[in-house]
Structure 1
Amino acid sequence: MKKSIYVFGFIASFLISTAILFKIMHWPAAGILLFCGVVILNLGFLPGYFYNKYKNKA
């Protein structure tokens, strides 16, 4: 579980940072990369992170 959280976090941060670079350089597909990065962050990383944090506290 913890390893998948790290993988989702890495992929999301990589996609978002790459999308920012694409936006700055005005290259195509920047919007798609940014959208995919934010979706992975919100649907993959954050729920797993908060679930793991909640599970370890109880």
Structure 2
Amino acid sequence: MTKSFYILGFLTTFILGIGAMFEFLVWPCRGMIVFAGFLLLNFGLVPTYFYQKYKSVKS
């Protein structure tokens, strides 16, 4: 895996963690933070993971 994958994974986990904390504490903007975390997960981390796997199988 590349360094960018690990950085993207950390950012996704961090944003979802902050969103979960905002959910439990019932603070404002919690829905937008969780939504941004899931967007980053679905359109950033998962495609990057499968692309890295595709590259490693192909070579």
Structure 1 length-normalised TM: 0.89
SS state at 2:46 partner: helix
Question: What are the superposed Cα offsets for residues 1-58 of structure 1, whole Å, 9 maximum, x if unpaired?
Answer: 7111111111111011110110000001111110111111111111011110121122
- What value does the CA root-mean-square deviation take over the aligned residues? 1.3
Paired residue total: 58
Moved segments of 4+, more than 2 Å: none
> Structure 2: which 5+ residue stretches go unaligned?
none
* CA–CA separation in structure 1 for the residues paired with 2:20 and 2:46: 20
TM-score calculated relative to the size of structure 2: 0.88
With a CA cutoff of 8 Å and minimum separation of 6, indicate the structure with the bigger relative contact order: 1
